[in-house]
Amino acid sequence: MKNIKHITFGLFTALLMVTTTGCEDFLDLKPYDALTAEQLLQDEAGMQGLTNGSLRMMKDLLGEEANNVYVRVLFQTTEFPSDNVLIVKSTTDPLWLSFNRAHILSQENTSYLWATGYKIILNSNTIINNVTVGENTSDEMKQYIGESYFYRGMVFFDLARLFSFPPSHGLDNNGIILRTGLGGEDSKARATVGETYRQIISDLRKGADLMTMRSTDAIKYGNKYAAYGLLSRAYLFTEKWDSVIVAANQVLDGNSPFELEPRASYIHGLHNTASSREAMFILYHDDTENRGSGAIGSMYNGDGGWGEVFPSEPFRALISQYPHDVRNQLLDTVFVNGVPALYQGTPYEKIYVTKFSYQNGIPTSHSPIFIRLSEVLLNRAEAYAHLGQDQNALDDVNAIRERAGLSGGELLTTGNLGAHGFASVLEAVLNERRLELAFEGQRRDDLMRNKIDLDRSFSSAQNVNGAADVYPYNGPRQIYYIPAAQEVAYNPLCEQND
């Protein structure tokens, strides 16, 4: 294979450990000693193994704490600070710190996510920095290179969402550290938010340009349409409304293989995402990779899990407005003798959320979706709303509402917004995003992006009396501290969040 540059021995060893054993020592390895890249990237099988290593790091345990898996931490740290959920009791699990915003510099879950995120980025850099696309590059090799850009852009995006404010708060604010090389970047300052999102968008665009879809099980890997879907989200963050629409249309114009999951199979498609008609990229777990009490769904569902995180009272009031809305079926109230059961010692009804459960009927088994067609449609709807294209925005919203089972006067028009309690089309779009994307880690971002304060004035373990608890959209604990031991301690150029 030609046009291969240089790789480092430490990284080569680390990647072999990930792709073959998932060794716990991986987080401690650094890439400095030299070995030619031809020994690692000489054929398609080697490229495929390296590329798949990024996926394994997202879902496999790389440390000693069984619950600290990248995808679990990501879904919890983005969703638990929102107004969609409540927790019924305190816990020693660091997820508690997301609920009460009592973040600490040595927070275990965010430290793991930061360290693992940069290992995934480094893994992608191995291919990006060592292989050049030329006239004779095969489509298969282009796919793996494109996936590397996709995974890198996706993880940069994950880190930016958690550790920096969105672009709507200012492009000159601190973003994340953009490590795009193969080493020697330990001491590096944080990029600005503007620079961070330019890198994210650049990576996703390159991924979209290079990728097609792997011929089998395409949604289990990065692919062209998933890249366009994430681009529509990234452009939404950067308030490039026209670009949101262009990226979304790459998926929604009828040429992609995806469609909204029909109402009749909606619940099944969320439980069994590998067979979903609208899932565009999932982190696939087979049944042998069931995480049990460490699964994403474990905190939401007491059937085989902890069942200690329930939908908040405001969210329940919102979704129950239309009992025939199919999305109600994702909430499972536990009854005892015909009466809703309470979580022991608390006033909270046991209402399990099953969105991340029941793959192949197994309560704690699930393959989480990172991007799906419903979100892309709602991304476009929000862009239309910001552009004042009200009817286009409502058409997209109504496509989601119709699929949910709403009809007639339950659908939205520019004339009945007030009757439905909405002061604007944007408010209607954000309401539908809250319903459709609930528990997927979007709500916190939607509020913060649009400069809407977070209102958690409802009863929960950290607010038992339901007292007023409104946190400003630009409050410092909307985002997390940069992990001290994993970054700040050895990188004097890294400025800590307030």
d(CA 430, CA 247): 20
Distant-in-sequence contacts of 215-222, Cβ < 8 A, 24+ apart: 217/274, 217/284, 218/257, 219/274, 219/276, 219/279, 219/280, 219/281, 219/282, 220/55, 220/274, 220/282, 220/284, 221/51, 221/52, 221/55, 221/147, 221/281, 222/146, 222/147, 222/150, 222/151, 222/154, 222/281
For residue 267, the surrounding DSSP H or E stretch is: helix 266-271
Structural domain boundaries in the chain? 287-366, 371-477
Tally of helices (H runs) and strands (E runs) in the chain: 15, 12
- Record the pTM: 0.93
Look at the domain 371-477 and name its fold.
1.25.40
pLDDT per residue rounded down to tens, the chain (498 residues): 334 343 343 344 444 444 434 333 333 333 323 334 455 566 788 888 899 999 999 999 887 666 789 999 999 999 999 999 999 999 999 999 999 999 999 999 999 999 999 999 999 999 999 888 998 899 999 999 999 999 999 999 999 999 999 999 999 999 999 999 987 677 999 999 999 999 999 999 999 999 998 877 899 999 999 999 999 999 999 999 999 999 999 999 988 999 999 999 999 999 999 999 999 999 999 999 998 989 999 999 999 999 999 999 999 999 999 999 999 999 999 999 999 999 999 999 999 999 999 999 999 999 999 999 999 999 999 999 999 999 999 999 999 999 999 999 999 999 999 999 999 999 999 999 999 999 999 999 999 999 999 999 999 999 999 999 999 999 999 999 999 999 999 999 999 999
